[in-house]
Structure 1
Amino acid sequence: MMKKKTGLYFILLILLSGLLNEAVAQPFLLQSKGQAKPFSLNIYYGSGGKGAFVQYSGHKGIIPLTIKSCVTDTSDGNRFTSYIWNEVLEGKITGTYGLTEGLRTIEDAWYVRGRDQKKFILEHIEAPGKYDGVDQYLLHGTRIAFNHFYSDTLIFRYPDKSVHIIELPEIVQSGGARQSHIGDYNFDGYDDVAFSVSDAGMGVYQEFQIYVYDPVQKQFYRMKEPDYTKKSHCACLCDVRLDARKKELSTACRGGARWWRDVWKYKGRKLIYVRSEEVND
């Protein structure tokens, strides 16, 4: 029974990795419909619609968006996620954006202008040429730039104009992609950002680098990997999951014929070992 469950888990991870690599590329280029003078914009966002902003064509400035709702529907066997964001300028809501994202599709995109509640219908326009892999987020006023495919450079551009450039682990799997994640990895109420790539072996795991936001210093710093004790089974930040209720971070890996999950608590900028669990599902 264990071998069957382990095999199913192995297959599921491979299928999930394939789906992630086939996800619709960011950003999305949207253009207004039915306007005498049409306008276009790029919209950027990460996990759960967080880290979002828009940049209108022909303009250098960006407009921050805050996620209002994120709802996923899988009732018909397909996965569609609908997002609604508030447009925020100088601390005031000046408009609302919405769209529904499927696998390689954008539907029902719109913008409502705050001052007169006029609604603009937007359509997804395929950008010319091959997607260059460039993506960006806006978190805590910091503009975060990276590449899903062709570059390992990570750039933090802070509100005080300072810039921090980092090299991320390279993508070693042929045809692989760098995944990006936004979540509260140290459970302090502030969203952080993480990046993951498939491991250099069989490509079964996603190996993470996590950058935690410090609200006092107003900068991101890399989360240190834990002291992998003799009790822990995983020797990397692999397939990281968060349990917000218990304020626990877990990693998962394969040891022999078994899959294990190590559970950690974050204290004093360190991950402290809590327990290990055998994965039976």
Structure 2
Amino acid sequence: MKKSIVWMASYPKSGNTWMRIFLANYVANSAEPVSINQAHRIALGDSITKMYQMVAGRPVDPENIEHMLQMRPHVLRGIVANNADINLVKTHNARVVARDVPLIPEDLTRSAIYIMRNPLDMVLSYARHYGMSHEEAVYTVSHPDNANPPDAETVTQFMRSWSDHVRSWTTGKSAYPVLVLRYEDMLADPKTCFAKVVEHLGMPVDEARLDRAILFSSFKELSEQEKKQGFVEKSEESERFFAKGQKDQWKTDLEPRLVKQMKHAHRKVMKKHGYLE
């Protein structure tokens, strides 16, 4: 079997959707923006219950975590069975072993793109997306056993704390290349960052095509599309998916005591990646 999976990995609310919509527009190379509700076709999600049902050939119970983990290798092999050179797969899982099952198996992996975001901003989006208070979100993203619980649509995602997640994808020896990007750099210099992604995937970088894909995946465009047609990835707990997409919102929106808690919990990793002044 080919090592064809290119993981599009991130902690939730860190820019993964933006990246996938950019790639959908770059690949399509169309004169009109790709619909945000079609962009998911560019990258499969690794935790979609329907995929587990397809592999099992019958209904499955996402709440049976042990069974879902046992099925995961078969689901991932099913993805690479198309013999394509590249299969983009979105994941919020940490690069860890869960109950003896490697969540990101080397034998199927070609490479990875890892997107991180300042956790002080991420936690605000996290709270809104999951319908939590800021205090609850700070506690959740700082907990070593943080996981998204299963539901009818998705199986469990094992994320751990923000720091654990970042370390899992960015440190230690890797059997495959990992392109690490910061959300803030994507905002400040999208052309450079997105060109790196195109090159990482082995595609030619065409400047006009790049500019158009960046324009078609701008926050203004995505927000307008969501207003008109809604967005399939929006959670029921949040009013909208594309809220502000800015940086440094924490300076006005996150209570100082919670800022202090986040910095205490994640200081080492924040400092390493330039998130502490």
In terms of Rg, which structure is larger? Answer: 1
Structure with the largest fraction of helix? 2
Structure with the largest fraction of strand? 1
Q: Quick check: TM above 0.5?
A: no
Q: TM-score, structure 1 length as denominator?
A: 0.23
Larger RCO (CA under 8 A, 6+ residues apart): 2
